A and B are shown apart, each in its own frame.
Chain A
């Protein structure tokens, strides 16, 4: 029996007896942190200036505690849910509060090369048939903000004649047929019954084959832990009935989250009432993040 089979068998067991959040390694993440996330630019600065560089992040001891003693959620049954996300690109203003909230909530490495979610800016200049694309990780944006931990787009198109511009938020698509799960040699990453693709960070060997295989560049590698990283739709939050951090802080409602098993959930309504698209459908991964307002240039 492979570890994958064991996990499938274990899913019938109530979650209280599962070390689910241990698998995620994020059990101790504080839900309360998100409350002040909208104005977190200042909070971040304070944390940096105060007690060490990334004081708000989980330290190794907290991480170990989260892995070894995750909180129990007795009333949650993953067979009852089918989570999905919607992204309305026409509403996104590129404020990047989602990135900031994600990094804080999930203790993501703070440099620009490790992201669980990010936002891409597409700009068509007058007379051009192709878009200019950048994200917060663009060195010019970082230089302009003065730090990798201040999430800002620069104002480089201030004097240009822009014909069309829009933002597209990206994150793990929690695919129905995830390439990362297919290539994982140990089964450390797996598709959960309720949708998200999760990583058992205590079992991952850190080969990074999954990082290579993801068509969306959604995975990164945590050098300090020696394991792969990715968005899990804040699994520790959604299993408690909360929204993922990025959805929670989005000031324009560009990100929508919910249970597809509930026909009246925000995401079910979003999918029903819009012509939705997915990214790179030709890959055959069948993503679970649904977009409104994609453009031919979106990668």
Chain B
């Protein structure tokens, strides 16, 4: 017998024959995950830039760079997934506007430009200072990055601040739009019971904020340990408030969505029940387990008014839990939705490939890239607001030589 089971997704019950070839794989799991991290990190950076909440000031610029680096790589999972990646721009050149996906190029492009602009305005003073402090090629690069605008007068800095603030203000609805839109791509499909929900954009958005805050917490703690700088208690408390709010609301809405589905109990609800108990039960346990852990931890930290080292440890853990929980949630939505057959009389069990174009290996590489980019960008544009000295050179050609 020839390659019968080569790429057949195993199934039980009855599924349409074409469904055994999974359309959207693990790459489409990490795409909303990465854009979610962007949205969350951006919200943190705006809390200082827009609302002037000073406790977020120490990490505001770092969160902004985090958002930028993740945004750069957000479209890459989609490109790896496309059957004809060289035609990707067809959707931008001739967008078919009835498609929820057609606006992606515009939304993502707009948001990327906005982030680049905001970064430039937020870092311009530093770029100018570094162009003067550094010598050699790095001095030249900073000179180019300043785009010839080296005015550091109070008036010029005030304009920088104002423009960055306005961009940040535009960025909040843009970030929400970008991510709510990803939720819409799934929620608007009437074909799939597991996706077709009006709450989907809201769930995507809120869980994005949760995972993004988690990312900023985790990175802030790790980076501070490496830099041997103190972790500011007030900042951690601020992150705790955002984290608690995010986790609490997203859990309520996710719970409501499942409750609604079961209460409506449309045709095929038994299969939905079997999906949760079957192919995605591990994912569901991770998603809800991690969320409950994050909720309980942040609640306890608030009630017990915890500060200092214990706050850092437990908030770090709950941040990490939130990142893992939201990743599991993306899996449960994207893969789970396809594991539930359109016939509503069958279930498929997806097994990811390890190597290949659409594989876990690709996912791993794409997931590492934003962190690597962030490391490089923070070397180029130190976000910590420290005084720029000539000897604190990051890329010093003389040192390298």
Interface 1/0s, chain B 1-43, versus A by CB < 8 A? 1111111100000111111110110000000000000000000
Q: Are B17 and A217 in contact (CB under 8 A)?
A: yes
With CB as the reference atom, state the residue of chain A lying closest to B343: A299
Q: Are B23 and A226 in contact (CB under 8 A)?
A: no
Q: Does B192 contact A (CB under 8 A)?
A: yes
Which residues of chain B have C-beta atoms less than 8 A from A205's C-beta? 82-85, 87-88, 90-91
With CB as the reference atom, state the residue of chain A lying closest to B104: A185
Q: Which of B20, B99, B101, B345 has the most CB of A within 10 A?
A: B99
Q: Does A106 contact B (CB under 8 A)?
A: no
With CB as the reference atom, state the residue of chain A lying closest to B9: A113
Q: Does B147 contact A (CB under 8 A)?
A: no
Q: Does A79 contact B (CB under 8 A)?
A: no
Which residues of chain B have C-beta atoms less than 8 A from A2's C-beta? 94-97
Q: Are A212 and B189 in contact (CB under 8 A)?
A: yes
Q: Are A221 and B17 in contact (CB under 8 A)?
A: no
Q: Are B95 and A214 in contact (CB under 8 A)?
A: no
Q: Are A215 and B19 in contact (CB under 8 A)?
A: no
A3 → chain B closest CB, angstroms? 4
Q: Are B3 and A219 in contact (CB under 8 A)?
A: no
With CB as the reference atom, state the residue of chain B lying closest to A283: B190
Could you tell me the dominant secondary structure of chain B's interface residues?
loop
Q: Are B189 and A299 in contact (CB under 8 A)?
A: no
Could you tell me the dominant secondary structure of chain A's interface residues?
loop
Which residues of chain B have C-beta atoms less than 8 A from A219's C-beta? 18
With CB as the reference atom, state the residue of chain B lying closest to A182: B98
Q: Does B393 contact A (CB under 8 A)?
A: no
Q: Are B18 and A114 in contact (CB under 8 A)?
A: yes
Interface 1/0s, chain A 282-294, versus B by CB < 8 A? 0110000000000
Which residues of chain A have C-beta atoms less than 8 A from B15's C-beta? 217
Report the bound CA distance from A113 to B342 in whole Å.
Answer: 15
Contact residues on A (Cβ < 8 Å of other chain), bracket:
35 or more
Q: Does B81 contact A (CB under 8 A)?
A: yes
Q: Which of A3, A120, A137, A228 has the most CB of B within 10 A?
A: A137
With CB as the reference atom, state the residue of chain B lying closest to A189: B96
Number of B positions contacting A (CB below 8 A): 48
Q: Does A76 contact B (CB under 8 A)?
A: no
Q: Does B52 contact A (CB under 8 A)?
A: no
Q: Are B192 and A212 in contact (CB under 8 A)?
A: yes
A207 → chain B closest CB, angstroms? 6
Q: Does A111 contact B (CB under 8 A)?
A: yes
Q: Are B83 and A204 in contact (CB under 8 A)?
A: yes
Q: Are A217 and B84 in contact (CB under 8 A)?
A: no
Q: Are A212 and B191 in contact (CB under 8 A)?
A: yes
Q: Are A187 and B20 in contact (CB under 8 A)?
A: no
Q: Are A221 and B23 in contact (CB under 8 A)?
A: yes
Which residues of chain B have C-beta atoms less than 8 A from A56's C-beta? none
With CB as the reference atom, state the residue of chain B lying closest to A53: B2
Q: Which of chain B's residues 235-268 have a Cβ closer than 8 Å to chain A?
A: none
Q: Does B282 contact A (CB under 8 A)?
A: no
With A111-B3, A113-B7, A208-B23 already in contact, the answer to whether A4 and B96 are too (CB < 8 A) is: yes
Report the bound CA distance from A223 to B7 in whole Å.
Answer: 12
Report the bound CA distance from A4 to B97 in whole Å.
Answer: 10
Q: Are A113 and B8 in contact (CB under 8 A)?
A: yes
Q: Are A206 and B99 in contact (CB under 8 A)?
A: no
Q: Are B2 and A148 in contact (CB under 8 A)?
A: yes
Contact of B4 among A148, A184, A203, A227 (CB under 8 A): A148
Q: Does B344 contact A (CB under 8 A)?
A: yes
Report the bound CA distance from A134 to B99 in whole Å.
Answer: 33
Contact of B83 among A4, A142, A206, A214 (CB under 8 A): A206
Which residues of chain B have C-beta atoms less than 8 A from A170's C-beta? 16
Which residues of chain A have C-beta atoms less than 8 A from B4's C-beta? 111-112, 139, 142-143, 148
Q: Which B positions have Cβ atoms within 8 angstroms of A?
A: 1-8, 14-21, 23-24, 78, 81-85, 87-88, 90-91, 94-102, 104, 185, 189-192, 338, 342-345
Q: Which A positions have Cβ atoms within 8 angstroms of B?
A: 2-4, 53, 111-115, 118, 120, 133-137, 139, 142-143, 146-149, 170, 179, 181-188, 203-209, 211-223, 225-228, 283-284, 299
Please name 14 further chain A to chain B contacts, defined as beta carbons within 8 Å, in addition to the given A120-B14, A185-B102, A203-B87, sorted by A numbering. Answer: A3-B96, A4-B96, A53-B2, A113-B20, A114-B18, A118-B17, A139-B4, A143-B4, A182-B99, A211-B18, A226-B84, A227-B83, A283-B191, A299-B344
User: Could you show 7 A-B contacts with beta carbons less than 8 Å apart?
Assistant: A2-B95, A4-B94, A147-B2, A179-B191, A183-B189, A205-B90, A222-B83
What 10 A-B pairs come out closest when comparing CB atoms? A206-B83, A217-B16, A226-B83, A137-B17, A187-B96, A133-B14, A299-B343, A208-B23, A185-B101, A113-B21
